[in-house]
Chains A and B, each alone.
Chain A
Amino acid sequence: MVEVRLFAYFRDNRGKIVYLDPNQYSNVQMILDHLGINLSDVQILLVNGRHTHAQHELKENDIVALFPPVAGG
């Protein structure tokens, strides 16, 4: 399974971690579509700790992390 770690308000109604089958959701964009998160709302997109893009192909045991932009002070 792919482990999808959600942060900030992405957790609302979705939980902190979602596990998805990479055979069914083969890239990050498919995961975003499944979770109902717009790519434009994602500031930091990491797969296994590296910055990447929505077309990144996923494989078993990958860890995806998604953060919105936070800039307030």
Chain B
Amino acid sequence: MERYLRNKGSITQSQQDLLAQRHVVVLGCGGLGGSIAESLARIGVGKLTLVDHDVFVKSNLNRQRFATRKTMGMAKVEVAKEKLFDINDQVIVEAKKAFIDSSNIYVLTNGCDLVIDALDNFDTRRMIEYADFNIPIISAAVAGYNGWLTISKPGYRNIKHLCSNMNKGVEQTLGNLSFTVNILAELEVSMAIRTLLNEEFSFHGFYFVDLKSLEIERIEIIE
């Protein structure tokens, strides 16, 4: 199929067929989530569920993929769904305008193959890891020139290492830069695709990204 011609060589036809059968839930549809959703749709993941309660505001314009002057005030997940249909109409996209909490997390993730954390706070991240729904979670966060990336699954609960008692981190003072958000989003996608294609990531720890020194360091934690 011409659409996926430039995936070939790195993704075999049988892997492409496998991706078309996969269902990914993206929690958060802002800076990380918008870019992740676009990339997953372009590469050919069969079904995406996008969850976010928010609408676009002006302060999103510096980094969020689907934030434009025309989409101000519109629900992020609805805008994303429409844009993704323009990009790839073979992908089934569910838009759920909802605040993610412990009352709906099981329903939102039911039956999916992978959850991607594109959230913006520690409380919800901690909640999804404690929810223990037996589906791998790929997780990342950003602040200024830095970000972290990890995967959490049974036996390897890594999000807890990163979560502070506070709900927010130093992004409150350092902000969220477009290139940092997009690089971390694509690192999540890279790990997601390999996970969907049955590659195992089993380690205790996380990757820490520094875009001032252009480094990605793997931090191992001994439990």
Contacts and interface: CB of A to CB of B under 8 A. Distances in A.
Interface of A: 7-9, 11, 16, 41, 43-44, 46, 48-51, 65, 67-73
B174 A69 contact: no
A43 to B, nearest CB: 5
B148 interface: yes
Given A16-B213, A44-B161, A50-B222, A73 B181 contact: yes
Contact of A69 (B31, B164, B210, B212): B164
Contact of B168 (A7, A8, A9, A71): A71
Contact of B120 (A49, A67, A72): A72
Interface stretch (B1-9, B39-47, B101-109, B136-144): B136-144
B161 A51 contact: yes
A15 to B, nearest CB: 11
22 contacts: A8-B144, A8-B145, A11-B212, A43-B162, A43-B169, A46-B219, A50-B222, A51-B161, A65-B219, A68-B169, A70-B146, A70-B162, A70-B170, A71-B125, A71-B141, A71-B171, A72-B168, A73-B31, A73-B119, A73-B140, A73-B142, A73-B176
